[in-house]
Amino acid sequence: METIKILFLASHWRVSLIKAFQDAMLPVELICADSDSLAPSFKEADRSQTLPLFSDSLCLQSLLEICKAEKISALVPLTNKAIEFVVDHRNELEVGGRRLWIPQSRAIEICLDKWKLFEFLIDEGFDTPSTFLPGIIESPFPLIAKPRRGEGSKDVFVLENSDDLEFYMKKCPQHVFQRRIDGQEFSIDTFFDQQGSPRLVVPRERLAVRGGEVMVSRINMDAGIIDKVKALGNRLGLTGPCTIQGIQDDNFYFTDVNLRFGSGFVHTISAGGNVPLMMYKELTGQELSSVKLDIKDHSVMTRYPESIFY
């Protein structure tokens, strides 16, 4: 089989994801690039490279030099900032037929802005919590204040009353304010092929979360959620790996669309969702229909921190 070289951009702490690709035992070389020379993921990769910050004018040239020297076949961004950087330099990074594992710019523009995502979901008839910009907010408390462009739980606040609302509208003018729905949180790991067809949709209940990262999850192959996610992916034109988030109450409400591997995606891979193999087959021009998926429904993942010593 042909050896493929994949570069994971902004890999930092994504050790378990890199290990999942290594465990797939494919003829693939994994290169990690990050601005932190002590990024834990470097220990699991075949090779690693330190990059300037995305805001540094030297970052693009450094990344292009790495891609050329390593003969990179595909580039996989692992954070929203990495996605934005790749989009901004799509033409330069695609030179030589290199695969950029991101969807088209329309989906990125919608999904990286929580207000635009809310408008899209409403216009397309999907259920989502009522969301407002600072100003006139017509919703009962509690509310959740989120950055329009952000990821994880950074700068996310729960508002219990009008005093909280007044404070955070002044403090966070670039936030959106969303009605909090009490229900079961879900992350849905997906893989859409280059034509936008859903090849994998695996809902996971988020049973324990710390700092925005799932620590315990349980797979729940709910047919209703799967159908809704397939419909959303079709409307957005999603491709590649994505982790979609929502809440199941009296209905299923979409709350976020991450155009990358979510932190708990390794659960789905471990449970039979062989995304590394699907990505390899796409890169080598093979049919994905030959990939047999047997997802272990109701399987549970629990995570713990590890230490790396130099």
Confidence of residue 2 (pLDDT cuts 50, 70, 90): low
Q: What is the pLDDT of residues 241-299, one digit of tens each?
A: 999 999 999 999 999 999 999 999 999 999 999 999 999 999 999 999 878 889 999 99
Question: Could you report how far apart the first and last alpha carbons of the chain are, in Å?
Answer: 35
Q: What is the pLDDT of residues 142-180, one digit of tens each?
A: 999 999 998 877 899 999 999 999 999 999 999 999 999
- What are the residues facing 175 on neighbouring strands? 147
Residues of the chain with CATH 3.40.50.20: 4-102
Distance of CA 170 to the CA centre of its chain: 30
pLDDT surpassing 90 at residue 135: no
Close Cβ partners of 46 (under 8 Å, ≥ 6 residues apart): 29, 30, 31
Could you say which architecture CATH assigns to the domain 182-302? 2-Layer Sandwich (3.30)
What is the CATH code of the structural domain delimited by 4-102?
3.40.50.20
Sheet of 47-50: strand order equals 47-50, 28-34, 4-9, 74-77, 99-100
Of all residues in the chain, the percent with pLDDT exceeding 90 is 90
Residue 180 contacts residue 129 (beta carbons within 8 Å): yes
Query: What integer is the mean pLDDT of 59-73?
Result: 97
List C-alpha distances in Å: 108 to 172, 257, 292.
Answer: 23, 10, 30
Distance of CA 1 to the CA centre of its chain: 29
Sheet of 131-132: strand order equals 131-132, 175-179, 143-147, 157-159
Q: What is the pLDDT of residues 68-124, one digit of tens each?
A: 999 999 999 999 999 999 999 999 999 989 999 999 999 999 999 999 999 999 999
